[in-house]
Structure 1
Amino acid sequence: MPTRPIHHVLAERPFVNVSIFASVREVTRLMQEQHCSAALITEHGVLTGIFTERDATFRVIAAGLDPDATAVGEVMTHKPLTLTEDKPFGHALHLMYENRIRHVPVVDTAGRPVGVVTARDALLLDALDFNTELIRREEITVIL
């Protein structure tokens, strides 16, 4: 699975993509509705930043900012590390591990967002391996 191209991992999964001018409240509501832990922030269609649950917690709530009056462009992480969808998923895992991040935006060659790979995707790999191992053990038990 780590050798699979990222576009296979994304598999038409929805992601939040908003303008830098959207309010923090608007963005977090979209994140909640789409069950996403991050939003990709664009300016003129090109990825400019990323806004995560941690950003909402530390840069907005802890800082005492008004989520209705604060534009997401003011509190996002600027110029996030990105990957293109032709890269292997293992590359995304390595990037997340080395940089201690949980989200990697995936962009096309023009810098437009096409999705986001998350640490949760890595957990899914472990869950699939675990399930395969359980099935194998059950089969061995039946044989014995």
Structure 2
Amino acid sequence: MPSRPIHHVINDRKFVCVSIDMPVRDVTRLMLQHNESAALVTEHGVLTGIFTERDATFRVLAAGLDADLTPVGAVLTHNPQTIGEHHPFGHALHMMYEGGFRHLPVVAPDGRPVGIVTARDALGLDATAFGEELIRREEITVIL
């Protein structure tokens, strides 16, 4: 499964993508509506950064900023590592592990965001492998 291309993993899944000048409160409301822990931030349609729930907590709330007045561009992570949609999913997992982050923007060659890979996607692999192992054990039990 880690050899599957990323576009099979993200599978045209919806993601939150916002403009760099959108207020933080509006961005977090969109993240809540879509049950997402990150938003991809663009400027003129090209990825410029990523805004995560950690950014909201540490860069906005802990800093005492006004979420209604603070543009997301002031508190996002600029120039995040990205990956193309045809790379293997395992490469994305390796990048997230090595970089110590849980979200990896997927971009087209022109820099336009096409999705996001998250640590949550790796849980799907574990669940699939676990299910396959259970089936194997049941088959062995029937044989014995």
Band of TM-score, shorter chain: over 0.9
The aligned counterpart of 2:143 is: 143
Q: 2:57, 2:124 → 1: CA distance?
A: 25
Q: 1:37, 1:139 → 2: CA distance?
A: 39
The aligned counterpart of 1:71 is: 71
The aligned counterpart of 2:25 is: 25
Question: How many residue pairs align between the two structures?
Answer: 144
How many angstroms does 1:143 deviate by?
Answer: 2.2
TM-score (norm 1): 0.98
Q: Percent identity?
A: 71
How many angstroms does 1:12 deviate by?
Answer: 1.3
Alpha-carbon displacement from aligned partner over 1:1-24 (angstroms, at most 9, x marks no partner) = 110000000011110000001111
* 1:85-104 equivalent positions in 2, closer than 5 A: 85-104=85-104
How many angstroms does 1:83 deviate by?
Answer: 0.4
The aligned counterpart of 1:8 is: 8
Q: 1:7, 1:136 → 2: CA distance?
A: 29
Alpha-carbon displacement from aligned partner over 1:76-129 (angstroms, at most 9, x marks no partner) = 000000001010001101100111010000000100000000011111111110
TM-score (norm 2): 0.98
Stretches (4+) displaced over 3 A: none
Alpha-carbon displacement from aligned partner over 1:41-68 (angstroms, at most 9, x marks no partner) = 0000000000001101111111111111
The aligned counterpart of 1:62 is: 62
Q: 1:141, 1:29 → 2: CA distance?
A: 50
Q: What is the identity, as a one-letter code, of the residue corresponding to 1:133?
A: E
RMSD: 0.7
